[in-house]
Structure 1
């Protein structure tokens, strides 16, 4: 892959890929799975032409490359062309289209959006309607394009037609980006309140894409499935740019991606049909795949199963080996590192429990450690993929020497494999004793019935927090909460970490990209704590509670009570709030 050494911008990556790949397939779009598989294909030459056309279309509404182009689109061929085209001549801003109108308005206004490309009106998802509602709140907005589905009112131009009127030739030198130009704003952190928009330069994204290509063992023409959304770095810089840099064939599985249940239920049929070499995704998606029987499907084409976005449960490591015969490769990264810190290295056997191998271009420092392998501390990262900060006045997680404060706890072994032990902010503090949730989760995941596990702190008036555990079971196994709690108690090495309560759920709450959403679990734990306290004082009342997390990260619980008891319960709720450092409100049942 000598062509990778000359790449300094995303546009150069697409140009070089087209020069090498030519008429070979760059993108296969899976249009339908049932009753029969149907697809369309885009060559590397055609992809470059689409990127050039999309860049010119976006640029026609902008004064210079500081203009912002926002995308509210699924991961489809049009989105690939628009995203890389926008980055080539402006600043792209891929946004999660499932966000509320309020969150979308905040993100787009903060970004300074001038042009929007959004999925047109359709009966399945209301992206177009939300965009129309948000548009009047965007003072810099100049144009909105519908994509795939045209605007039936004809008031908004249709991208699929307008782009064909643009020149497909190479971009003028004056428009082309430089390595340190901002390529994109990616939203991260909370999606309510003040949005955090991470600034990605071309150097950041190219480093990630080329590292993925260099070490994955991806040969030209290998089919790589990418069912992740492009507003997430795993879908865009890692899976998309990484596959294109390696001259692979990127399979985009329907408009729904991995959120389409048919993609998961037919995963092995797709491996056989397309001879997929690389599969994987967020651990929750991979876990769902492993529940699907392989049957008589020929999956011998698989070279690698990879997962990232959150640590992989030990039970899933074993499941992938059992189902595919392959070890699972993990990768670890953040939006602030354009997607990758560690990489899945095909030349190195993955180490059980490690989140991946650290490539030479990346520096890792374990804060507080004396430099010996195995010492745990906060992970600091430095390298060309590390971003320069957030848009606006948001405080930067970088120190004066360019080290990124990750917020993750972990350690390195002597071979350069990185291990995560938890999140600094996820620590459960029980009577002054710091408990790493991973200790509880790893213990629970040893039980054969457990698919996923997540430990959080439950507010407690005496101890501050008590560890509680939420689990999702494998579809073919059963265990009750008491048995699982006893299983953990027998094995956990840190007695204070033994969960005081185990809750079995049909499915753990996850984010739009499939990560376990711990704020939801913390809110559930807070609900439980408040109700337990109030029911001791009001055993005969019908009480219910709803918990959430405020924009500032505070836990808030709203208790619903009968009108006649409102005053008494409100006073008790205030006392509970003080003891547990929560926000608790009593309201009348409707």
Structure 2
């Protein structure tokens, strides 16, 4: 914990105010089984099995039995309380079973995105002294088993490589589901205490420096309760899990939230828009939590005549939602899209309630959810008036425990405020709007460029599908702006065309980008956030132009 941050006092306050319930994932699972044992818990689709029918369906009773088996097998391998186990799996049923089984025996679950390769894994697994890792044999053409075998000599603490679809001694089926080990029911579990480290999740890397974010059952359950309450969810929701479980949106806002309410969660292992929309209609999906590109795909396909699911709520996070997508979702689906702000450290920090989404999702990223406080202030924590942009700080029930093996790095003082790194302003009604990142500020000739506003202007260009603006060094002006665009129709996008559009928009000339580059796709994190550090590296060449 950071120097000056009193975790014990924080925990006492969270319990006294009712935000922390001291429930483990086992408590949620057992409650769901008791309420409705024969209800579908998960419906899993796999690309290699074909998307016309699920590859696996489990009721809550069956999920409970599988978790007990897996917990026994992990325990028999010598995995126990406090051991870190990485789950580097796509959205497969094996991920869900393993995550809950590890929670039961007190191991720390470390979900990892399946896009990571040797460079990231060498650091992440070594830094955490990871004891075991679960991987696919192959996925999307990549041989994960060969990759881990190559890394194993550099990871002396890594004792077990467990391979889904693997063979013989390493196979998930043999080692975990059919090992013959004594099953561990919930009554024999040894979970971490609800306020101890239970899940380790590396930051998604918009700055290029991943850190191990520590969460407890209490923070995860607080997130599930807060999001469900704001969205009006009960036990009849059918979730669509297109967002990877290896990212906190998929893990907390989909997997754990569905468990909290005893809901059904349907998930494909990849997002293929046509197949995904068809699955949603077939399975009767009523809720989805995902980034803007997923929503854009759905709206486009429905507009083209695809069958629509009975979507009632949609939590959209990771990037601003273009107004045209919000409007089309309402027209075509009767859906009010709820804008959301969050990060690995904060989980779901703010969310627009569905009944106000038609107005507020266009202009804001929601208001703080129950148990979360936000503060718009300067760097000295002096609050700023409504409408004025400042640093976004947060604290509360979903706040992370700290960074793994880096005490004090989070910078929280005695009052517990964490600097999110985002710039934002708040309106008179308490809704916040992300207005950039502290590291994304462009200061051109002493003038702060409103980056988000310029990006919004670019996005409205009829040829532009995606846009981002970053700064590059300039001897005379300090910085200048470079626009990166993804086009709907391919081809070129000249600086002259950009200037004509900026002039038409009425934006001040000193805010206009002075370089432009076309990309095939924006570099994004799994949650949909643009990795601007990658763009800044690309833009650096214009400093010498």
TM-score band (shorter)?
A: 0.7 to 0.9
Residues 288-437 of structure 1 correspond to what in structure 2 (within 5 A)? 288-299=297-308, 301-337=310-346, 339-350=347-358, 351=360, 352-368=362-378, 370=383, 372-393=385-406, 395-437=409-451
How many angstroms apart in 1 are the aligned matches of 2:373 and 2:324?
A: 30
CA distance in 1, matches of 2:185, 2:316: 36
Please list every run of 5 or more consecutive structure 1 residues that lacks an aligned counterpart in the other structure: 533-590
| CA-CA distance at 1:27 after TM superposition | 0.7
Residue 351 of structure 2 aligns to a residue in which SS?
coil
Task: Look up the SS of the partner of 1:28 in the other structure.
Answer: strand
- Counting only pairs closer than 5 Å after superposition, residues 57-96 of structure 1 correspond to structure 2 as 57-62=73-78, 64-88=80-104, 89-96=106-113
CA distance in 2 between counterparts of 1:36 and 1:241 reads 24
Deviates more, 1:202-211 or 1:313-322: 313-322
Superposed, 1:139-150 pairs within 5 Å as 139-147=156-164, 149-150=165-166
Asked if structure 2 preserves the Cα contact closer than 8 Å seen for 1:426 and 1:436, the reply is no
**Do residues 113 (structure 1) and 127 (structure 2) align?**
no
Return the offset for 1:107.
0.5
The answer on whether the counterparts of 2:337 and 2:354 sit within 8 Å (CA) in structure 1 is no
Q: Residues 418 and 82 from structure 1, CA distance in 2 versus in 1: closer, same or farther, beyond 3 angstroms?
A: same
> Does the CA-based 8 Å contact 2:207-2:533 persist in structure 1?
no
Greater relative contact order (Cα < 8 A, sep 6+): 2
Matched, 1:100 2:117: yes
* 1:455 maps to which of 456, 463, 469: 469
- Superposition deviation, residue 323 in structure 1: 3.9
Question: Against the structure 1 CA distance between its residues 217 and 485, is the aligned structure 2 distance closer, same or farther, given a 3 Å change threshold?
Answer: farther
The aligned counterpart of 1:125 is 142
Residue 194 and residue 417 in structure 1: after superposition, are their counterparts in 2 closer, same or farther (change >3 A)?
closer
Does the CA contact (< 8 Å) of 1:291 and 1:474 recur in 2?
A: no
* Distance apart, 1:488 and its partner CA: 1.9
How far apart, CA to CA, are the structure 1 residues paired with 2:533 and 2:255? 29
CA contact (8 A) 1:103 1:191 kept: no
Deviations 1:444-476 (A, max 9, x none): 223343322101012222222111211223459
Q: CA RMSD in A?
A: 2.8
Instruction: Deviation per CA, 1:77-129: give whole Å up to 9, x if none.
Output: 11011112213321111112322213201100111111111112468222221
CA displacement 1:538-565 (0-9 Å, x = unmatched): xxxxxxxxxxxxxxxxxxxxxxxxxxxx
Structure number, greater radius of gyration: 1
Measure, in 2, the Cα distance between the counterparts of 1:195 and 1:476: 33
Sort the Cα spacing of 1:391 and 1:84 in 2 relative to 1 into closer, same or farther, 3 A.
same
Q: Partners in 2 of 1:475 and 1:280 — Cα distance? A: 29
Which of 223, 227, 235 aligns to 2:242? It is 227
Give yes or no for the alignment of 1:38 onto 2:48.
Answer: no
* Equivalence map 1:483-562=2 (5 Å): 483-530=497-544, 532=545
* 2:240 is aligned with 1:218: no
Task: Give the structure 1 partner of residue 10 of structure 2.
Answer: none
Distance across 1 between alignment mates of 2:72 and 2:473: 55
Question: In the alignment, is residue 134 of structure 1 matched against residue 148 of structure 2?
Answer: no
Q: Distance in 2 between matches of 1:173 and 1:36?
A: 38
Quote how far apart the aligned CAs of 1:22 are: 1.5
- Give the direction of change, closer, same or farther, for the CA distance of 1:318–1:174 in structure 2 (3 Å limit): closer
What TM-score, normalized by structure 2, do the two folds share?
Answer: 0.87
Q: Which runs of 5+ in 2 are unaligned?
A: 1-18
- TM-score, scaled relative to structure 1: 0.81
SS of residue paired to 2:213: strand
Q: Give 3-state SS (helix, strand or coil) of 1:471's partner.
A: strand
Shift of 1:335: 0.7
Q: Residues 374 and 62 of structure 1: is their aligned pair in 2 closer, same or farther, counting only changes over 3 Å?
A: farther
SS of residue paired to 2:288: strand
Q: How many residues align?
A: 518
Give the conservation status (yes or no) of the 8 Å contact 1:72–1:96: yes
- Measured against aligned partners, the alpha-carbon deviations of 1:496-519 in whole angstroms (never above 9, x if no partner) come to 211113333332222344432212
> Cα 1:250–1:374, aligned 2, differ >3 Å: closer, same or farther?
same
1:15 aligned residue (30, 34, 56): 30
Instruction: For residues 261-309 of structure 1, give each alpha carbon's deviation from its aligned partner in whole angstroms, at most 9, with x where no partner exists.
Output: xx21234323322222123512223223333354444426111233112
**3-state SS in 2 of match to 1:266:** helix
